[in-house]
Amino acid sequence: MDTAILDALAAAVGPGHVLTEPDARAGFERDWSGRWHGDALAVVRPADTGQVSAVVSVCADAGVAIVPQGGNTGLVGGGVPRQTAPARPIVLSTSRLDALGPVEAATAQLPAGAGVTLAAAQRAARDAGLDLALDLGARDSATLGGLAACDAGGLRAMRHGTARRQIAGLEAVLADGSVIASRMSGMVKDTAGYDLGALLVGSEGTLGIICAVRWSLVARRDARAVALVAVDAIEDAVALAQRLRPALASLEVCELMDAAGMAMTAGHLGVADPSGGAPWTVLLQCAAAEDPLDELAAALERAGVGERARVAADATGRERLMAVRERHADAIAAIHGASVKFDVGVPLASLAGFVTRVGEVARSASPGAELVVFGHLADGNVHVNVLPAQPVASGGPEEAALDEAVLGLVAECGGTVSAEHGIGVQKPAYLRLSRSPAEIAAMWAVKRALDPAGLLNPGVGLPAG
Amino acid sequence: MDTAILDALAAAVGPGHVLTEPDARAGFERDWSGRWHGDALAVVRPADTGQVSAVVSVCADAGVAIVPQGGNTGLVGGGVPRQTAPARPIVLSTSRLDALGPVEAATAQLPAGAGVTLAAAQRAARDAGLDLALDLGARDSATLGGLAACDAGGLRAMRHGTARRQIAGLEAVLADGSVIASRMSGMVKDTAGYDLGALLVGSEGTLGIICAVRWSLVARRDARAVALVAVDAIEDAVALAQRLRPALASLEVCELMDAAGMAMTAGHLGVADPSGGAPWTVLLQCAAAEDPLDELAAALERAGVGERARVAADATGRERLMAVRERHADAIAAIHGASVKFDVGVPLASLAGFVTRVGEVARSASPGAELVVFGHLADGNVHVNVLPAQPVASGGPEEAALDEAVLGLVAECGGTVSAEHGIGVQKPAYLRLSRSPAEIAAMWAVKRALDPAGLLNPGVGLPAG
């Protein structure tokens, strides 16, 4: 059976783009953290939407599951193969779906293949005098298709929204091999039927395979100002975000870091801790057409935190302050090693309560654990890193207890178990904490309607239904 | 049977809110244009989401169809009753779902019931120092729920997007009476499962009944500048829009009017035609925190149209110029009477070709007809008004020939048969011109999954399937 399928896949994309050798497959079969891995029948690399459709049709006929993969930068295991029955799945890599541009000036939209990296798309936008608003650390590998499939957020969502708000159109292949297009002609207004594209955004490759997008660009705002503000209590950090956001139109980054993370990252970078050891630190970045430094400084004065603020004097200073935030994950990995990470969201009004209680709650499941909490303050999106006293086995009972404890607290605070990383294979069991039985039933109804055989990324996104 | 249903509905919402008398029902059974009408078993007015759920459950048990209705300002008949079997439908009016605010400053979101009018929501936003970006002529009657259900566009979509981009969250009742909530806690980032809310936006009440929304607000920009530019050819109008949009960040209205419409409206308003009889007129409005008049004037000079531009000198002048555009529909109705109206979208690059050919195409189906074309130039969204030489019977063969001719040309130009009004009961048969069989099949799969008995707004949105 396998030979016939592989022959059909080779006929669809060319034999050089069906990777079956273990060495060639290996990089696609394991996520970058090493936490999730599995065996694929093959890695298949179609070159255009028509080839994606052909690949899906071959798999549908053969009952072979499909794991779509972009830059393989996901954090919840949704992009690497897992055990499927009766056959192993294929990995459908979007790497060759790399058509890019040109930028359409009249609509400020950038058409691009799903496999284009965020960094390449950002460069294309900037070369055309505009900017692509979404930004995150994995920009050199993460692809537009993956960002769309996961409704990525990142650093600047507080101003520009998540991927959903920036995707003007998309083209995708459904589970039966059919091609759908949603607003791919650049028309902003189009109310002819349900917006299937909007449904696919954030569906993690389980309802269709995104092949191309039109990304809405924004004005280029090259003048920046960055400040770090040390505060004594999490309530002060939240209050500062609540106050600055409406008052400072140019604000586009508003991040939170705790003392443990600041100390670790400063140590890792070999610099003095710029917070001076404060319990909490808020990082702010403004972007505008003209220098927003005075505006930022004045807003900090009015907020009564002028004396606790450290404002970058120049580009080098701005980069240094931003690096302290962006290198948190690296620092934790280098200094502590493995940690149990949670990407959660809590309404801003409940964030202080959540952060205050999460340490005790985590330690009830993992005695002696230390915590590092940082994230996107203005979005109520925090990354809780639990550094256990002893290594925690992946998939073992202590990890499950931690999941239940931390995500249970999230639910108690009215939050979401996934703010920006998605559900993947990590969190399907916890979806019930943020979504009602009726909502999960409706999601399953949609899944079964569009993928009745369950071939698209099985095991991802939804609890067993 | 009817008595038992009416009793159950009365138990759900209170007897005073189940309207069964013909006089009381009449206003809900006919659209404002008078074109569509039907009989309802009753008009039911629930006061909150729980009551909506109870009403839907009663109807689901009894097999009674539900027609959701907001401000009854729709233009495609999707909000008034039509013949359903075995029983007449109910109209579910959202008028009592009128909870409003307060504006949440930290997230710039306005929570509101589906029955709140656009004008009331705009006032609440402005009172809080912000603005609600969506705007259209029916603002005093159109409701937020209806705008969401139809993905309304309006005058300022070129800058702020359609309703879809502005809806931060929504709460709805599905066909089985279950309640779903999507981002109703103000969290911008939430990737826990499919975004059912995004699917409901633009679904015209066929997948669920929207009960409440969270609307994203924008900065208040009270300084305005307005100009009319007369041009000699439609190609010049398109080129002007393509040139000004990237160059003029404050531009938020960019409208097109033809000579016939300008003459008719000026006559109707009793003013001199401000275009001086030019073949085409472009209306521009900029909005900013500080007076954008110089910026607009300079951009017009650079575009080489300074001499053909008429810039409003003050608020009265701005209102006068805007009124000429906004009163087009009134003028046509007053001077000509009934017309056959098309709301279509065409990619900007194809707009000149479409507009050039549409008159001849329309007259091939309706000999001697005159045309008035106006609309949202930057969006490629034009309203084609066919003024027939003789009255055209609603639902008759001449109307069908006109539909086929005009909408066929739209399809040939790669456009959409519905830009901002929706499909309703007017255009299901023409959805195939803008959507592939695979797309329509996928829409039907979703519809059957979420509303297997077909009780929510049957006959609307999709062709018989």
Tokens of residue A250, six digits: 């140019």
Distance CA B58, CA A356 (A): 45
Q: What is the pLDDT of residue B53?
A: 98
Strand A251-258 with A42-44, pairing: unpaired
From chain B, pick out residues whose CB is under 8 angstroms from the CB of A193.
423, 431, 434-435, 439-440, 443, 461-462
Those residues whose C-beta lies under 8 Å from the C-beta of residue B6, and which sit 6 or more positions away, are B18, B20, B41, B42
8 Å CB contact between B354 and B407 = no
Low-confidence ranges of chain B (pLDDT < 50): none
CA-based nearest residue in chain B for residue A154 = B189
Distance CA B207, CA B210 (A): 9
The rounded Cα A240 to chain-centroid distance in angstroms is 25
Q: What is the pLDDT of residue B1?
A: 61
- Which one of A53, A194, A456 makes the best mutation probe of the B interface by having the most chain B beta carbons within 10 Å? A194
8 Å CB contact between B345 and B419 = yes
Q: What is the pLDDT of residue A1?
A: 61
DSSP one-letter code for A249: T
Distance CA A383, CA A373 (A): 6
Distance CA B144, CA B109 (A): 13
Pick from A178, A202, A249: which is nearest to B195 by CB? A202
Q: What is the pLDDT of residue A465?
A: 76
Those residues whose C-beta lies under 8 Å from the C-beta of residue A173, and which sit 6 or more positions away, are A49, A52, A53, A56, A179, A180, A208, A209, A211
From chain B, pick out residues whose CB is under 8 angstroms from the CB of A381.
187, 189
Torsion of CA A197, A200, A201, A205, to 10 degrees: -140
- Which one of B183, B189, B342 makes the best mutation probe of the A interface by having the most chain A beta carbons within 10 Å? B189
Q: Which strands form A109-113's sheet, in the order they lie side by side?
A: A109-113, A209-216, A167-173, A179-182
Supply φ then ψ for residue B223, to 5 degrees.
-85, 125
**A344 DSSP β-pair partners:** A382
- State whether A347 and B420 contact (CB < 8 Å): no
Q: Name the one residue in this structure whose structure tokens are 């589906």.
A: B114
From chain B, pick out residues whose CB is under 8 angstroms from the CB of A108.
245-246
Pick from B106, B192, B450: which is nearest to A418 by CB? B192
- State whether B193 and A461 contact (CB < 8 Å): yes
**A372 DSSP β-pair partners:** A385
Pick from B178, B185, B414: which is nearest to A347 by CB? B185
Q: Name the one residue in this structure whose structure tokens are 């949009």.
A: B245
- State whether B439 and A180 contact (CB < 8 Å): yes
Please give the single-letter amino acid code of residue B287. A
The rounded Cα A146 to chain-centroid distance in angstroms is 9
Q: Name the one residue in this structure whose structure tokens are 């897992």.
A: A82
Pick from B129, B179, B186: which is nearest to A347 by CB? B186
* Cβ-based burial of B255 (10 A; exposed 0-12, middle 13-18, buried ≥19): buried
From chain B, pick out residues whose CB is under 8 angstroms from the CB of A220.
none
Pick from A179, A198, A348: which is nearest to B199 by CB? A198
Tell me the shortest Cα–Cα distance from A169 to chain B, in angstroms: 12
- State whether A443 and B193 contact (CB < 8 Å): yes
DSSP one-letter code for A38: -
CA-based nearest residue in chain B for residue A351 = B187
Distance CA B191, CA B325 (A): 42
Picking from A406, A420, A399, the residue whose alpha carbon sits closest to that of residue A354 is: A406
Picking from B59, B49, B78, the residue whose alpha carbon sits closest to that of residue B18 is: B59
Please give the single-letter amino acid code of residue B265. T
Report the 10 Å Cβ neighbour count for A438.
17
Q: Where are the beta strands (DSSP E) in B251-364?
A: 251-258, 280-288, 309-311, 340-345
- State whether B106 and A418 contact (CB < 8 Å): no
Those residues whose C-beta lies under 8 Å from the C-beta of residue A3, and which sit 6 or more positions away, are none
Strand A109-113 with A90-93, pairing: unpaired
Alpha-carbon distances of A32 from A83, A105, A417, rounded to whole Å: 19, 36, 22
pTM of the model: 0.96
Those residues whose C-beta lies under 8 Å from the C-beta of residue A365, and which sit 6 or more positions away, are A398, A401, A402, A404, A405, A406
Distance CA B308, CA B229 (A): 6
Distance CA A401, CA A430 (A): 12
Pick from A191, A249, A381: which is nearest to B219 by CB? A249
- State whether A189 and B345 contact (CB < 8 Å): yes
- State whether B186 and A348 contact (CB < 8 Å): yes
Tokens of residue B71, six digits: 């401000």
Model confidence over B91-135: pLDDT tens digits? 999 999 999 999 998 889 999 999 999 999 999 999 999 999 999
- State whether B178 and A441 contact (CB < 8 Å): yes
Supply φ then ψ for residue A382, to 5 degrees.
-115, 150
- State whether B195 and A178 contact (CB < 8 Å): no
Supply φ then ψ for residue B18, to 5 degrees.
-120, 100
* Cβ-based burial of B43 (10 A; exposed 0-12, middle 13-18, buried ≥19): buried
- State whether B198 and A195 contact (CB < 8 Å): yes
Q: What is the pLDDT of residue B461?
A: 97
Tokens of residue A31, six digits: 């996520």
| Interface contacts A/B by beta carbons within 8 Å | 254
Tokens of residue A18, six digits: 């069906």
- Which one of A130, A164, A188, A214 makes the best mutation probe of the B interface by having the most chain B beta carbons within 10 Å? A188
Picking from A304, A317, A137, the residue whose alpha carbon sits closest to that of residue A225 is: A317
From chain B, pick out residues whose CB is under 8 angstroms from the CB of A195.
151, 164, 198-199, 201-202
Those residues whose C-beta lies under 8 Å from the C-beta of residue B106, and which sit 6 or more positions away, are A241, A242, A245, A246, A348, A378
Report the 10 Å Cβ neighbour count for B301.
12
- State whether A194 and B174 contact (CB < 8 Å): no
Q: Where are the beta strands (DSSP E) in A158-297?
A: 167-173, 179-182, 209-216, 218-219, 223-231, 251-258, 280-288
Tokens of residue B282, six digits: 């472009």
Q: ∠ CA(B361), CA(B362), CA(B368), 5° rounding?
A: 115
Distance CA B133, CA B216 (A): 9
The helix (H) or strand (E) run that includes residue A40 is none
Distance CA A234, CA A323 (A): 22
Q: What is the pLDDT of residue A33?
A: 81
φ/ψ region of B364 (left if φ > 0, alpha if ψ in -120 to 50, else beta) reads: alpha
Count of helices and strands (H, E) across chain B: 16, 17
Write out chain A's pLDDT in tens, 465 residues.
Answer: 689 999 999 999 999 999 999 999 999 999 988 889 999 999 999 999 999 999 999 999 999 999 999 999 999 999 999 988 788 999 999 999 999 999 998 889 999 999 999 999 999 999 999 999 999 989 999 999 999 999 999 999 999 999 999 999 999 999 999 999 988 998 989 999 999 999 999 999 999 999 999 999 999 999 999 999 999 999 999 999 999 998 898 999 999 999 999 999 999 999 999 999 999 999 999 999 999 999 999 999 999 999 999 999 999 999 999 999 999 999 999 998 889 999 999 999 999 999 999 999 999 999 999 999 999 999 999 999 999 999 988 888 999 999 999 999 999 999 999 999 999 999 999 999 999 999 999 999 999 999 999 999 999 999 997
Please provide the DSSP assignment of A377-391 as one string: GGGTEEEEEEE-SS-
Tell me the shortest Cα–Cα distance from A203 to chain B, in angstroms: 5
The helix (H) or strand (E) run that includes residue A447 is helix A437-450
* Residue length of chain B: 465
* Cβ-based burial of B1 (10 A; exposed 0-12, middle 13-18, buried ≥19): exposed
